Structure 1
Amino acid sequence: MAQSIAQPTSTTAVPATLPIGVIAPWAFFFGLLMLVLLYFVGAEQGATAIFSGTGVHEWVHDGRHLLGFPCH
């Protein structure tokens, strides 16, 4: 049986690129999601409250303190 010797080939690493049209909708979606979460953790209470009562406040209470937002 004949054995073949593998010849090294010159390969250059080409970085994979994504078009901005693919990234932009996802970046917008996650940016908007982060802003909504930041609103609920940081401002959903008092004068800017969308929901009445303290339900949202109680759900995000520990996260609010963890991120340094005062709530008492």
Structure 2
Amino acid sequence: MANATYAPEITVTPIPVGQLLPWAVFGGLLMLMAIYFVGAEEGATSLISGMEVHEFVHDGRHLLGFPCH
């Protein structure tokens, strides 16, 4: 009895850095904004007046270890 195996030919094409770089910058900016709103949007460094943003990210702030009270 012969053993038949299927071995598809896989060609991997690299992603050019020029196409990846804008998405990496965009993702990095989104992460920086998220870190700011979770970690620093309160008190003297607040860009948005009121406590709405602070209360919205309050549990995430404690989960990530940022003190807020």
TM-score over 0.5 for the alignment? yes
CA distance in 1, matches of 2:63, 2:11: 42
Runs of 4+ residues deviating >2 angstroms: 11-16
Query: Letter of the aligned partner of 1:38 in structure 2?
Result: I
Aligned identity (percent) is: 61
Q: Which residue of structure 1 lines up, in the alignment, with residue 20 of structure 2?
A: 23
1:1-72 equivalences in 2 (<5 Å): 13-72=10-69
Gaps (5+ residues) in structure 2? 1-7
CA distance in 1, matches of 2:34, 2:15: 28
Aligned residues: 62
Counterpart secondary structure, 2:12: coil
Bigger Cα Rg: 1
- Residues 7-48 of structure 1 deviation map (CA, whole Å, 9 limit, x = unaligned): xxxx86543201001100000000000000100000000110
- Cα RMSD (Å) of the superposition? 1.3
